[in-house]
Structure 1
Amino acid sequence: MVEINTIETTVNVNDVDIAYQLHGNANNPTIMLIHGLGAPLSAWPKAFVEQLVLQGFQVLLLDNRDVGKSAQLEHLKMPNLPWLMLKLKLGLAINVPYKLEDMMNDTVALLDHLQIDKVHLVGASMGGMIAQLITINYPHRVHTLTSMMSTTGNKKLPKMTDAVKQNFAEKPASYSAQDILKFNIKKWQVIGSPGYPSDAESLTEFVIGLLERGMTAKGTLRQMLAVMATKNREKDLAKIATPTLVLHGDDDPLIRVECGIATASVIPSARLKTYPGMGHDCPIELIPSFVEEIISHTNTVASQTSSDTKEITS
């Protein structure tokens, strides 16, 4: 195994403590990975991070607010959930503890703190939504965008399956460590890839890693409310000039493949890659393909930059 230089610390940015990791050589271009709902940075497979580093990138990961080792925002007042759901059904605006835009600002403030001017952005699920917002609002900070198993915010797109909806409505049998572990294992089984099922030992190890990093029901709920409050981004996405890659599973039961197709169709010149049998996770078998697609995507931009430079100097 190749030894990779890793830095981990927590910094206060945008008035919130954000934990992050840096892997690889600081002199290399940076790929920033932003994960999804209730998922700490340990949800990114180690093999994925390692392969990106070995391809010549510095990899930056963060725990979003309310998850992992970042600040748990328990002081924020929770809304009346039944009233909030009614307002959503009526198409009315809702008040939530924070918005995806706040999470976007956390991320940009972290880049400012690290003095990283521009990154290749990779966002999964909710992280894809945050990455889209960064690209919309701070295009000068983004070399390329890769949106994985994410969506545009259009509420008319297909919803999660009934099985996922039922699972999300459930609670652990108790708050014992064992029951919380079982509950989260079942969740990942429900949203996982039918074509690439995880063996029991690997899945248990993965979920233990998430729980040890830090997850709370209230923190996940606050993040979910931020997603629910977000507006349709399609008009803004249609203005993106940043080179964009969309990766999505054909069998995603949480954010349906139609959402990935819609994302790629609305962003000018976006490239779409779908995977039969992939659900709402990162199967270990598909990591080489993910890395190949992302590296090819970033290399295209590097080649274009080189070509533009030659034209200017000639």
Structure 2
Amino acid sequence: MTEQLADVGRGIHLAYERRGAGGVPLLLVAGLGQQLHEWHDGLIDLLVERGYDVVRFDNRDVGHSTHAGFRPPGPLDLARKRWSPEQYDLGDLALDTVGLLDELRWEAAHLVGMSMGGMIAQTVSARYPSRVLSLTSIFSTTGAARVGRPALSTWARMFGKPARTREEHVDSAVRMYRHIGSAGYPFDEPRLRATAGTTWDRDPRPAAGVGRQLAGIIKSGDRTRELAAVAAPTLVLHGDRDRMVNPTGGVVTARAIPGARAQTLPGMGHDLPAALWPTFADLIDTHIRTVDSRSSDAPNL
């Protein structure tokens, strides 16, 4: 996959990779602090084999995409909802995503988002319905109070001292994913270390961008009412062992989006374990093929 850079407007450029050109358009939206490679190659292979034109990308403030220049808010600022006048929100990240669709010359695409990426994909679906063929929201939430929140033990880890070196970053990622990862599946430490190392190599000292993204989530508040406008057929996937986004986040997401279908994956936490890649590929593929089948069966008016 060759990395490219898309001008999505407003001075923002997004790094992206594409495989399976000519297939069914499928856009993968990554989560908080995640880079495009965290949609793992093995999962991409399975989706391409099923006939998809797959694009994965870095949201702004991570990886090789445009980074903001203002200082991220600290924990007290986040608690008090005090941030820079330049602070963006999920609506801005959604507009970035639409700009990427424009650059790809895709009138519409199937969107799959995980965690914050699910929030971005939800927002695109609500605000730009003509651009979304279907939505798959993975371990995400609506921003509603008292649901879908990290465990207290997770908050403590999130606000730990930022890594100063590649080694510290990799070790920190291992500790975090031992905590929030899929306890029902084998912990693949070598793969995780390789992924975390690539993250640092592409974007050393990523903590500032992660802080700004987190502020963007908090600034967006409760999006429950807005999600009632989502018209795209929606699949909501969540694990029952998630310490980052409590499983109640998946429940309220499915309730907020008209006609959404929810499925709980036993043993899954806040990651995409390799053992579940075939399951993810099958669930996404079945959801999209069901949508396409309904569209082809619709009467011509």
Q: Same fold (TM over 0.5)?
A: yes
Shift of 1:76: 2.3
Is 1:312 the counterpart of 2:288? The answer is: no
Which of these residues, 54, 68, 85, is aligned with residue 79 of structure 2? 85
Shift of 1:82: 2.8
Which of these residues, 9, 16, 35, is aligned with residue 4 of structure 2? 9
Partner-residue secondary structure (3-state), 1:228: helix
1:70-106 alpha-carbon deviations (Å, 9 max, x no partner) = 1122x22545753452348xxxx98562111111111
The aligned counterpart of 1:24 is 20
| Unpaired runs of at least 5, structure 2 | none
Is 1:164 the counterpart of 2:154? The answer is: yes
Structure 1 residue ranges, 4+ long, deviating more than 3 angstroms after superposition: 77-81, 93-96
**TM-score of the superposed pair, with normalisation by structure 2:** 0.93
1:280-302 alpha-carbon deviations (Å, 9 max, x no partner) = 00011111111111111001111
**Quick check: which has more Rg, 1 or 2?**
1
Residue range with higher mean Cα deviation, 254-263 or 198-207: 198-207
Is 1:43 the counterpart of 2:38? The answer is: yes
Residue range with higher mean Cα deviation, 163-172 or 16-25: 163-172
Partner-residue secondary structure (3-state), 2:3: strand
**TM-score of the superposed pair, with normalisation by structure 1:** 0.90
Quote the Cα distance in structure 2 between the aligned partners of 1:41 and 1:153: 24
Q: Assess if the C-alpha contact under 8 Å between 1:66 and 1:220 holds in 2.
A: yes
Partner-residue secondary structure (3-state), 1:203: helix
The aligned counterpart of 2:97 is 107
Shift of 1:60: 0.8
The aligned counterpart of 2:191 is 202
One-letter code of the match for 1:86?
R
Quote the Cα distance in structure 2 between the aligned partners of 1:297 and 1:266: 19
Which of these residues, 57, 68, 73, is aligned with residue 52 of structure 2? 57
- Give runs of aligned pairs for residues 102-251 of structure 1, distance below 5 A: 102-172=92-162, 175-214=164-203, 216-251=206-241
Pair 266,19 (structure 1): closer, same or farther in 2 beyond 3 Å = same
Partner-residue secondary structure (3-state), 1:37: coil
One-letter code of the match for 1:179?
E
Shift of 1:190: 1.5
Q: Assess if the C-alpha contact under 8 Å between 2:71 and 2:208 holds in 1.
A: no
Q: Assess if the C-alpha contact under 8 Å between 1:99 and 1:227 holds in 2.
A: yes
Quote the Cα distance in structure 2 between the aligned partners of 1:249 and 1:139: 27
Quote the Cα distance in structure 2 between the aligned partners of 1:267 and 1:105: 20
Q: Assess if the C-alpha contact under 8 Å between 1:150 and 1:260 holds in 2.
A: yes
Quote the Cα distance in structure 1 between the aligned partners of 2:174 and 2:181: 10
Residue range with higher mean Cα deviation, 16-25 or 209-218: 209-218
Q: Assess if the C-alpha contact under 8 Å between 1:96 and 1:225 holds in 2.
A: no
Quote the Cα distance in structure 2 between the aligned partners of 1:94 and 1:70: 20
1:239-290 alpha-carbon deviations (Å, 9 max, x no partner) = 3221000010101001011110111122111111111111000011111111
Quote the Cα distance in structure 1 between the aligned partners of 2:286 and 2:52: 13
Is 1:303 the counterpart of 2:299? The answer is: no
Percent of aligned positions with the same letter in both sequences?
Answer: 37
The aligned counterpart of 2:247 is 257
Quote the Cα distance in structure 2 between the aligned partners of 1:296 and 1:31: 13
Partner-residue secondary structure (3-state), 1:11: strand
Is 1:290 the counterpart of 2:284? The answer is: no
Quote the Cα distance in structure 2 between the aligned partners of 1:107 and 1:134: 8
The aligned counterpart of 1:76 is 70
Partner-residue secondary structure (3-state), 1:22: strand
Pair 114,167 (structure 1): closer, same or farther in 2 beyond 3 Å = same
In the alignment of these two chains, the number of paired residues is 299
Q: Assess if the C-alpha contact under 8 Å between 1:96 and 1:229 holds in 2.
A: no
Quote the Cα distance in structure 1 between the aligned partners of 2:197 and 2:74: 32
